[in-house]
Chains A and B, each alone.
Chain A
Amino acid sequence: MLSFILRRLMQTLPVLFGVSLLVFSLLHLIPGDPAVLIAGENAPKEQIANIHERLGLNDPLPIQYWNYMWNIIQGDLGTSFRTGRPVIEEIASRFPITFQLSVYSTIFSIFLGLIAGVIAATYKNSFIDTSIMVIALFGLSLPNFWLGLMLIQWFAIGQTPWLPFSTSWFSPSGWGSFQQMVLPVITLGTAGAAMIARMTRSSMLDVLNEDYIQTARAKGLSERKVIYRHALRSAIIPVITVIGIQFGFLLGGSVVTEQVFAINGLGRLLMNSITNRDFPVVQGIVLVISFTFVIVHLIVDILYHVFNKRMKMNG
Chain B
Amino acid sequence: MASTKQPLLSVRHLSVSFFTKNDEVKAVDDVSFSIPKGQTLGIVGESGAGKSMTALSLLRLSQPGEIVTGEILFEGENILKKKEREMRKIRGKDISMIFQDPMNSLHPTYTIGQQLREVLYTHEHLNKKQATKRIMDMLQLVGISAPEKRMHQYPHELSGGMKQRAMIAMALLCYPKLLIADEPTTALDVTIQAQILTLIKELQRKLAMSVLIISHDFGVIAEMCDHVAVMYGGNIVEMADVHHLFEKPKHPYTIELLQSLLRKDRHTNEKKVRPIKEPFLRSEENGTGCRFAPKCPYKQEICAKRLPPLIQDEHNHYTRCWIASDDR
Direct A–B touching in the complex (beta carbon < 8 Å)?
Answer: yes
Give min CB distance, A123 to chain B, whole Å.
Answer: 13
Q: Which of A215, A307, A310, A315 contacts B105 (CB 8 A)?
A: A215
Expressed in whole angstroms, the Cα–Cα distance for A217 and B63 within the complex equals 12
Within 8 Å CB of A307, what residues of B?
109
A314-B103 in contact given A220-B90, A220-B91 (Cβ < 8 Å): yes
Give min CB distance, A57 to chain B, whole Å.
Answer: 57
Give min CB distance, A313 to chain B, whole Å.
Answer: 4
Which residues of chain B in 102-116 are interfacial with respect to chain A, using CB atoms and an 8 Å cutoff? 103-110
Within 8 Å CB of B103, what residues of A?
314-315
Contact indicator A314/B105 (Cβ below 8 Å): no
Within 8 Å CB of B104, what residues of A?
210-212, 314
Write the A195-219 contact mask toward B (1 if CB under 8 angstroms, else 0).
Answer: 0000000000000001110111111
Expressed in whole angstroms, the Cα–Cα distance for A220 and B123 within the complex equals 8
Task: Considering the complex, give the chain A residue whose CB is closest to the CB of B116.
Answer: A219
A297 on the B face (CB < 8 A): no
Write the B113-149 contact mask toward A (1 if CB under 8 angstroms, else 0).
Answer: 0000011001100000000000000000000000000
Contact indicator B99/A234 (Cβ below 8 Å): no
Q: Which of A216, A217, A307, A313 counts the most B-chain CB atoms under 10 A from its CB?
A: A217
A221 on the B face (CB < 8 A): yes
Within 8 Å CB of B107, what residues of A?
212, 215-216, 230, 233-234
A211-B156 in contact given A217-B61, A220-B88, A220-B93 (Cβ < 8 Å): no
Contact-residue size bin, chain A (C-beta under 8 Å from the other chain): 20 to 34
Give min CB distance, A17 to chain B, whole Å.
Answer: 36
Contact-residue size bin, chain B (C-beta under 8 Å from the other chain): 20 to 34
Contact indicator A311/B92 (Cβ below 8 Å): no
Q: Which of A214, A219, A221, A313 contacts B156 (CB 8 A)?
A: A313
Contact indicator B118/A219 (Cβ below 8 Å): yes
Contact indicator B59/A222 (Cβ below 8 Å): no
Give min CB distance, B163 to chain A, whole Å.
Answer: 10
Within 8 Å CB of A219, what residues of B?
91-92, 118-119, 122, 170
Q: Which of B92, B106, B123 contacts A218 (CB 8 A)?
A: B92
Top 6 A-B pairs, shortest CB-CB distance: A220-B92, A220-B91, A219-B92, A314-B108, A211-B104, A313-B156
Residues of chain B whose beta carbon lies under 8 Å from any beta carbon of chain A: 59, 61, 88-93, 96-97, 99-101, 103-110, 118-119, 122-123, 154-156, 167, 170
